């Protein structure tokens, strides 16, 4: 006995409707991602939002500005946000303190700094004997000062004294008055300062051998990673697509930087874009040597505490995306 097409449609319609509503629900999965600053090193989060890469992977993302690492980690642990960006060292310190966190990817794996000096300083030899300013001992700017000075073939402290100056305002004042001859700065920031003649003596973006330092990492809780691995994977996919877009679409990316940073200074946009585009990783894995250095720093002064690379990092999602060809497809290879 034959079955009518109408009867088949009647039977399958509920399943079709259910499938449609499931896809719609998936497309509306809402998550919050926190970011620590609106500078260019975090641009891939903004690009993924503006170019709808999150939505492409079924996510409705709310980006939340949280300038404090301590606050962002607290928000992550409370479940208010599902992902946050931070350095490997910041996450290592949180895990040593008992936080159940994991680094799933790192998109910048060196300190994204350039050495700004007075215009009269044209070579490493000119810099010798003059002071470089940092915000405080042990800060990212301190580490950046050391590796930038070494990049010039000089010895920090011995050849180039390093001076604890304070915040950005104090740094600018010390530079303007000649108290310091230069300072490490995130790419392009110096272009926002007026009436301060300067030159960039060296930039991390141009190093042939980089200083490994997990700087812009994507982090979540191990509980969320275990229970919502598919969501973690889709966030990783969106950010990899955003990275490829940033690297290949200069003008569109600069417009996005301008929107989020609220800066329209062309020199800033161009120089910060050019530097960061070189630093973003095609495959955002975590360099073991760089993270182990950060772990060692985080463990200093904490007798009895232990932490290994494997305790901190879960690269399975990124390695899967590399192995299954997703990253190659994104980059058209």
Q: Are strands 216-221 and 101-108 parallel, antiparallel or unpaired?
A: antiparallel
Distance CA(125)–CA(122), nearest Å, equals 8
Do the Cβ atoms of 94 and 300 come closer than 8 Å? Answer: no
Quote the strand ranges of 92-161, DSSP E. 101-108, 114-118, 132-134
What would the pLDDT profile of 295-325 be if each residue is shown by its tens digit?
998 998 788 999 999 999 999 999 999 999 9
Do the Cβ atoms of 188 and 267 come closer than 8 Å? Answer: yes
Distance CA(129)–CA(39), nearest Å, equals 32
In the prediction, which pLDDT does 143 show?
86
Residue 6 vs residue 225, higher pLDDT? 225
Q: Hey, what CATH class is 6-110+213-330 in? A: alpha beta
Residue 135 DSSP code: S
Domain ranges in the chain are 6-110+213-330, 114-206
Distance CA(86)–CA(106), nearest Å, equals 9
Residue 159 DSSP code: T
DSSP per-residue codes, 291-306? HHHHHHHHHTT-TT--
What would the pLDDT profile of 247-277 be if each residue is shown by its tens digit?
999 999 999 999 999 999 999 999 999 999 9
Are both 6-110+213-330 and 114-206 of the same fold? yes
In CATH terms, 114-206 corresponds, of 3.30.70.2970, 3.40.50.620, 3.40.190.10, 3.20.20.80, to: 3.40.190.10
pLDDT band at 209 (very low <50, low <70, confident <90, very high): confident
% of the chain residues with pLDDT over 70: 92
């Amino acid at each position: 006995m034959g079955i009518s097409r109408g009867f088949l449609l009647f039977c399958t319609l509920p399943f079709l409707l259910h499938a449609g509503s499931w896809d719609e629900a998936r497309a509306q999965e809402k998550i919050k991602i926190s970011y620590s600053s609106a500078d260019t090193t975090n641009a891939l989060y903004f690009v993924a939002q503006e170019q709808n890469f999150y939505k492409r992977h079924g996510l409705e993302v709310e980006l939340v500005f949280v300038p404090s690492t301590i606050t962002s980690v607290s928000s992550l642990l409370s479940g208010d946000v599902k992902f946050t960006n931070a350095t490997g060292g910041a996450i290592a310190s949180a895990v040593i303190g008992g936080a159940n966190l994991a680094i799933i990817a790192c998109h910048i794996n060196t300190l994204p700094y350039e050495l700004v000096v007075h215009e009269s300083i044209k070579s490493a030899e000119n810099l010798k004997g003059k002071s470089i300013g940092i915000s405080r001992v042990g800060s990212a700017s301190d580490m950046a000062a050391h590796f930038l000075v070494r990049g010039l073939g000089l010895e920090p402290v011995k050849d180039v004294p390093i001076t604890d100056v304070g915040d950005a305002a104090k740094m600018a004042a010390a530079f303007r008055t000649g108290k310091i001859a230069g300072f490490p700065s995130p790419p392009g920031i110096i272009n926002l300062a007026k009436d301060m003649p300067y030159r960039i003596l060296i930039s991390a973006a141009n190093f042939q051998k980089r200083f490994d330092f997990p700087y812009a990492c994507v982090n979540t809780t191990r509980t969320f990673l275990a229970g919502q691995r598919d969501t973690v994977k889709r966030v990783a996919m969106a950010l990899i697509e955003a990275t490829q877009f940033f690297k290949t679409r200069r003008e569109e990316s600069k417009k996005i930087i301008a929107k989020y940073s609220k800066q329209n200074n062309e020199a800033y946009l161009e120089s910060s874009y050019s530097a960061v585009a070189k630093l973003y990783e095609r495959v955002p894995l975590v360099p073991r040597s760089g993270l182990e250095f950060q772990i060692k720093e985080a463990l200093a002064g904490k007798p009895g505490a232990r932490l290994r690379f494997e305790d901190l990092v879960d690269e399975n999602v990124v390695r899967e995306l590399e192995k299954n060809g997703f990253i190659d497809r994104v980059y058209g290879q």
